[in-house]
Amino acid sequence: MDEPPTAQARGVPEWTASSHNGTQFNRTMMSQGAYIAYFSAPWCSHCEATLDTYDQVIPNGQMMVFSQDDDPEFSNMSAWHETTESNLNRSIERPFMLMPEFATEMGVMSIPHVAFVNEQGYIFQTEIGKRTNQTMIGEIWNATLNSSYNTTTGWS
């Protein structure tokens, strides 16, 4: 009897971006460990609660904030970063990057959209919509940290 096919994990496509403060980031830089690719847009006010929650759970250096909106009116990432800090009344030490093409490649159709990427560069889990449960996010993050993908046997 043939064994059922192993589900194929989706890898993160190549990306390079400049953050709101001019720092360059790319997929290779992030390949040293798991990270979160958080997709949103400057005009998405309901996304701020979700960003706030992820920011409080995910360790520094392991969360990238990407704007999926290609409208020039919303292309100033420094303004978005400052507005978010003001609205949340605290500092946000995350890079904010304009990456609509990357969002398309990642299949972002609605926001907020969060991809949990394991250290191998595979998307372990995707969360779409408002999320404010820190415990749930922490559990997914820990599972991502411990996940491994094998092309023959799948996830472990």
Beta carbons of 105 and 17 less than 8 angstroms apart: no
Q: Has this prediction a pTM greater than 0.85?
A: yes
Candidates 1.10.3720.10, 3.40.50.2300, 3.40.50.300, 3.40.30.10; CATH matching 19-146: 3.40.30.10
Q: What is the pLDDT of residues 19-29, one digit of tens each?
A: 999 999 999 99
Torsion, CA 95, CA 96, CA 101, CA 104, rounded to 10: 100
How many CB atoms are closer than 10 A to CB 132?
Answer: 12
Question: Quick one: DSSP state of residue 62?
Answer: S
Question: Quick one: DSSP state of residue 44?
Answer: -
Where helices occur in 3-91 by DSSP H, the ranges are 47-57, 77-88
The whole-chain average pLDDT of the chain stands at: 93
Q: What is the pLDDT of residues 103-133, one digit of tens each?
A: 999 999 999 999 999 999 999 999 999 999 9
